[in-house]
Amino acid sequence: MSIHENIKYFRKEAGLTQEQLSEKIGIKRSVIGAYEEGRAEPGVANLLLFADFFKVSVDELIGNKLKKSSKKPAKSAENFDNLKILSITVDKDNKENIHFVPHKAAAGYLTGYADPEFIAELPRVYLPIFKEGSYRAFEIRGDSMLPILPGSIIVGQFLENWDNVKQSKTYIVVTQNEGIVYKRLVSLKDKHSYSFVSDNTLYPPYEIAEEDIREIWEAKAFISTEFPTTNTTHSLQEVVTELKEEVKKLKNGKGY
C-alpha cells in the first residue's frame, strides 16, 4: 500500500469522511482528497498531524505494510529531522509538474516548501527533456556564480538522499538561515556540515550545517536570456586579477 492508500485506510478505519477528518485535524478537505488520490504528497508537518491523530507511527503511515488495528504511539517531529518528503503536484496525465520559484517567492518557499497548497500556487514550466525524477526551477540573484548571470533560472533535481552529494557539482540548497542559495560543493566536512564555494572567487567559501538544510536540488540545467561570452569571462578574470594585485600591494605597504 502507498502513503495515499494508507491515509485513506486509516481514515476509513476511524469511520470518518474526508470532511470530518478535515475539521478534526485542520487540513483542508481538498488537500486530504489530493493526498488520497495521489495528486500531492504530504509534507512532514502534515504527516505528523495524521500520525498523531490516527495514533500510529510515521513509519506505518508511509510504509508499505499495514497490520489491521496496529496502533503505536506517534513519533515526535524531532525524530524526523532527516526525513525528506517532497510536496508535488501532477498534471492531468499524472506526471509531476515542474514548479518555478521566482525570487519574490523565495521567502515564502522557506515556510511553504512542504505545503502542497503553496506549491500548487507556484508557476509551472514544461521541460520535456526531464522525464525521470522530481524537478524544480529557482531564480537566482547576485553575481556569486558568474558567469551564470543574475536572474538566470536553475533547474534542479530533487535529492532525496543527501549522502549522494558529489564534490564539484552545483546545488540549489534550501536553508532555514541562509535562504535559497546556489553553490558548488567543495566537500562534506563531516556528517553534519557541508562546505560550499561560489564560482566567483570574490566570495569566500562557507559551511552549511545539515540541521539548517531543508532541501537539496542537484543543478541539471540553467535558463537565461543572456549568454555568457568569452569577453565577459575574460573581463571578469581581469577584474579579479587586478583586485588580487591591489591586495598584494596593500600587504607589502605599497598601497594607498
Q: Average the pLDDT over 141-156 and give the result.
A: 91
What pLDDT, on the 0 to 100 scale, is given for residue 170?
A: 96
Q: Average the pLDDT over 175-190 and give the result.
A: 86
Residue 5 has pLDDT above 80, yes or no: yes
Q: Average the pLDDT over 103-121 and give the result.
A: 86
Return the half-sphere exposure (C-beta side, CA atoms, 13 A cut-off) of residue 235.
7
Q: Does domain 98-223 have CATH number 2.10.109.10?
A: yes
- Domain boundary assignment for the chain: 3-80, 98-223
- Mean pLDDT of all residues belonging to the chain: 81
Tens digits of per-residue pLDDT, 74-108? Answer: 333 333 344 466 777 777 777 888 999 999 999 89
Write b or e for each residue in 14-35: b if 16 or more Cβ atoms lie within 10 A of its Cβ, otherwise e: eebebeebbeeeebeeebbebb
Angle, helices 44-54 vs 3-13, to 10°: value is 30
Domain range 3-80, CATH class = mainly alpha
Q: How much is the pTM?
A: 0.61
Contact between 11 and 27 under an 8 Å Cβ cutoff? The reply is no
